[in-house]
Structure 1
């Protein structure tokens, strides 16, 4: 597993070196301006490298891949539409159709279907979906894909959040003795780690060298949906449904809160803006790197709560109500973005200004 991870890191890094100059020559780049945080033209090579490294390595693994055919087909579909969108922005309807088509494939052919939601209200009544399983599953898959794409707003943010998610799933599959799934997850984790070498701001003045692009964000969102659903449902269940929600908790809360806010303001839920939580942190004075680290810390905390709740045997109902409480707090904060920003700015100034004063005094 360590070898597979290391090879994925090296292959993704090598592909980024090869693809980036070509991407710049053919215009597969992201230009600065508008709502964007970067200040220079950046190649959209990360998603291509991650997708190609994943496909090449998985096909060389000595594991049966029969039940993965649906995932491979859906991944190819959504990767292509994402790549086309990276070249020239496609209509939202075309992107939605492609996402829904990929969801249909993995739900109907790949059996990535939510049949039950666990014991959400008490320990004796399991919430089952019956005839609603297929439409609800497709809705959730499309939602996870979009949540992943909407999280891709700062250098290292979406890649870091997804790496935390897939590492948690890797740990779960290893503990559950599912070596085949663990090897494939090791490939995804290695590919993301190789991408983050070029995308994460290890220093504040070192911006990302490549971006993930829609091709990579949509593919990784589909992969997240595939594993979360498959591992939370019988006959392959290793996670409780609410544990899966906690593992993907930050993108869920951010996306739902923002979309509800847009609808309440009479705007399209898919209209872009600068009201995500990471935008609020930036307006409060935090640097891009600090904002990403805060978001990754929150994602890691939610992941640990989710896994800890399952390992300690905390009833699903408690985990469900706890997540609802947390989401309510998050939602109220997003809907009071100006007040939240000012409160965070005070926190930021309390930590930054004394440090600067101390530095000047030392000088």
Structure 2
């Protein structure tokens, strides 16, 4: 495990430096526009760098089994699709078709999918059988696009991804489970990107973005770690109950659902880009990007902690479901009434600035 961590960390670090210098030749540059208010042109090489770090850890440090090989192949395909999207701005239909292809590789290639939803209503475990294949397709598409849509300010996607993988790794680290191993090497690969994305040493002179290649890779990895972590599969028993998955992906999933609900209520396409995500609300309230980052990631960590507490203490899944549904309702209401929430946040920020220490 320690060797894998070192290889993942080092490979990602080196990849960032190399790809950053080649970004212009590759045409992977993000330029400011009406939706992207960053300063200057920024290389979109974070996702590729993370993939190289993960691939190196798997190939060099572990015995490549069918699950590892198919995951790497699927990851390579999703990164390739993401690179094409970063460079040529693919249509929504093209991206969805590509994501369905990748989902098929994992579901049918390994024969594993979500079939057990847990004991959500205190009547015994809910087994959805073969419908689980369709359910898993939907779950993979939702995760990929949720993490893709939340990528709006520096550090946010990286921070939320680290929180998600930390939850999975924490519950499975003692059993050396595949989901835990996958999560640990993703965390270590994400650290160099997180530092480069925020311009923190040793990357003070290197600024990169994740790009769609990275956000889709993270969504794919998170959902697959959750599938293998929550289901009885060919590789063994689960390490947590299915309800825990909602606590792992809470913020990205809630943001995606709330935004799509708002767009549909306006008669717009659910995939139409806008500036109504949770981080935009904070920014309009006067928070800096780093303040918004700290608040949102801390909120994700708090929600994850509730989920971990529920797992460690085996709190009834119905109660955990009601908690997460309540949070979803509050979140959707906040996005729908963003102007009211903005006003509240402005008052909070004004109060914070008046504090004297």
Q: TM-score range by the shorter chain?
A: over 0.9
Give a deviation string over 1:63-113, Cα, whole Å, max 9, x none. 342222332222122111111111111111110100111112212222341
Further displaced range: 160-169 or 335-344: 160-169
| Cα distance in 2 for residues equivalent to 1:241 and 1:207 | 42
Task: Note if 1:314 corresponds to 2:321.
Answer: no
| Cα distance in 1 for residues equivalent to 2:276 and 2:119 | 34
Over 6 Å off, 4+ runs = none
Give the alignment of 1:1-363 within 5 angstroms: 1-122=1-122, 124-175=123-174, 177-178=175-176, 181-200=179-198, 209-235=207-233, 236-354=237-355
Runs of 5+ unmatched residues, structure 2: none
User: SS of the residue aligned with 2:138?
Assistant: helix
Q: Which residue of 2 aligns with 1:361?
A: none
User: SS of the residue aligned with 1:127?
Assistant: coil
| Kept after mapping to 2: 8 A contact 1:81/1:95 | yes
| Cα distance in 2 for residues equivalent to 1:103 and 1:62 | 24
| Cα distance in 2 for residues equivalent to 1:259 and 1:107 | 26
| Kept after mapping to 2: 8 A contact 1:37/1:154 | no
| Cα distance in 1 for residues equivalent to 2:24 and 2:50 | 18
- Tell me by how many angstroms 1:207 deviates: 9.8
| Kept after mapping to 2: 8 A contact 1:63/1:180 | no
Number of residues of Structure 1 aligned to a counterpart in Structure 2: 352
| Kept after mapping to 1: 8 A contact 2:248/2:304 | yes
| Kept after mapping to 1: 8 A contact 2:179/2:228 | no
Give a deviation string over 1:146-203, Cα, whole Å, max 9, x none. 001011111010011111111221222213x125554433221111011111013659
Further displaced range: 24-33 or 219-228: 24-33
| Kept after mapping to 2: 8 A contact 1:68/1:110 | no
Normalising by structure 1, we get a TM-score of: 0.92
Give a deviation string over 1:277-299, Cα, whole Å, max 9, x none. 11101101100011011111011
User: SS of the residue aligned with 1:118?
Assistant: coil
Runs of 5+ unmatched residues, structure 1: 359-363
Further displaced range: 128-137 or 267-276: 128-137
Normalising by structure 2, we get a TM-score of: 0.94
Provide the alpha-carbon RMSD of the alignment: 1.8
| Cα distance in 1 for residues equivalent to 2:205 and 2:257 | 29
Compared CA separation, residues 308 and 89, structure 1 to 2 (3 A): same
